Structure 1
């Protein structure tokens, strides 16, 4: 079953059932709120009394950008909690406005449609060439994203990015390894006009690339994680 939250322009919800494809497709429109999405999903699930379908919410990114990550998470949690649902997949168009909402949603869905093959390839290279940095980056990229977006400096050291975090899991050292990994993945740059400790060029930060990398990390299986240095 697919629920198209924002790509459709229909004034009312109309469910199309395609038995040969085992698909029920409902177009809601850009103004759909949480209640409308959940009511439509519940009604359609009633038609699947002998099976537990996969629910696809596509495209959830503009909904999250307009209404906030909390409402997007509420939708996913409520759909996933239904006993009639096998799994929840979201479509997510990566934009600067939707990028910051992605980490919270990733924690709650089974899959994300539209993984960027370039980001997957870059992660694969990082894993082969520097498995320790890969391990840190995969584990802490969401915290690094928060630090980057909270830091008021243009060219900070990792300890200054770390200071911008509230209740961090990382240390300045492990955050530095994560930031280094994000540089390798094309999310930001280092500032070359310095000596001593590495400074990161946050003016080059690309939130859309950050989101693409996050989706790609979600697609990497747990048993492929790299090593992590001891604290």
Structure 2
């Protein structure tokens, strides 16, 4: 693909900005450099993909970059399964036709999407260098704990955010999870790793089992840790 700006662009809008009552329409600017298709939020996944296909039909294979702005609203509104299914259908349908497929996902969305889609994509980007370095140190210095964090960071993040206690034990965090993959012990190991990686603290005023200080929880850091881990996994 030649360097520089694209010769033309096409936008398919299926966002909340275009409400469900909006009739589908396509507008083309006078010079033909931009086509804008409005579908509205109620458009199903296949309808969105069909609209994308309409813009790709007359383009030679491998000459178009395809960008999905943000799938987090889909995951929040319709569930993780719907967002994953859409991403998979997108990849299956356009993988051989598009030059590159990029899927945006904002950190406000459920973190499970990142861990589940990571095995399907060629690369995950967005991790900051400092977090990547911290994850690499944990992998090198404590590979056992790193293994638990790598497998269960998204479930640990979800447990922290769903727990209404300020200073819970791992079993109390585990108790709020629906259908967990972890046990209280393995969740505790993942939480311990997140402490080492700076996403939360432990509560020091106890002589019993470890309690985690969720008042010191840093959701952005937990998200950055997850992205760094998935970026490393995608590159393996």
Q: In the TM superposition, what whole-angstrom CA distance separates every residue of 1:20-57 from its partner, at most 9, and x where no partner exists?
A: xxxx9977789565455412332244345544966432
Alignment equivalent of 2:57, drawn from 25, 28, 46: 46
Q: How does 1:31-180 map to 2 (within 5 A)?
A: 33=43, 34-35=45-46, 37-51=48-62, 55-62=66-73, 64-65=75-76, 68-82=79-93, 84=96, 88-94=101-107, 97-100=108-111, 102-103=113-114, 104-106=116-118, 108-180=120-192
| Cα offset, 1:85, TM superposition | 5.1
Alignment equivalent of 1:203, drawn from 209, 215, 218: 215
For structure 2, the residue ranges without an aligned partner over 5 or more in a row are 1-8, 19-23
| Cα offset, 1:147, TM superposition | 2.2
Give distance in 2, aligned partners of 1:146 and 1:2: 36
Larger CA deviation: 68-77 vs 131-140: 68-77
Give distance in 2, aligned partners of 1:14 and 1:118: 44
Give distance in 2, aligned partners of 1:220 and 1:35: 32
Question: Kindly tell me: are residues 212 and 71 of structure 1, through their superposed partners in 2, closer, same or farther at Cα, counting changes over 3 Å?
Answer: same
Q: In the TM superposition, what whole-angstrom CA distance separates every residue of 1:130-168 from its partner, at most 9, and x where no partner exists?
A: 111111111111221232233332211112222223333
> Are the equivalent residues in 1 in contact too, given 2:121–2:234 (CA < 8 A)?
no
Question: Kindly tell me: are residues 210 and 107 of structure 1, through their superposed partners in 2, closer, same or farther at Cα, counting changes over 3 Å?
Answer: farther
Partner of 1:20 in structure 2?
none
Larger CA deviation: 143-152 vs 118-127: 143-152
Larger CA deviation: 38-47 vs 58-67: 58-67
For structure 1, the residue ranges without an aligned partner over 5 or more in a row are 17-23, 225-231
Question: Number of residues paired by the alignment?
Answer: 214
Larger CA deviation: 29-38 vs 70-79: 29-38
TM-score normalized with structure 1 length: 0.71
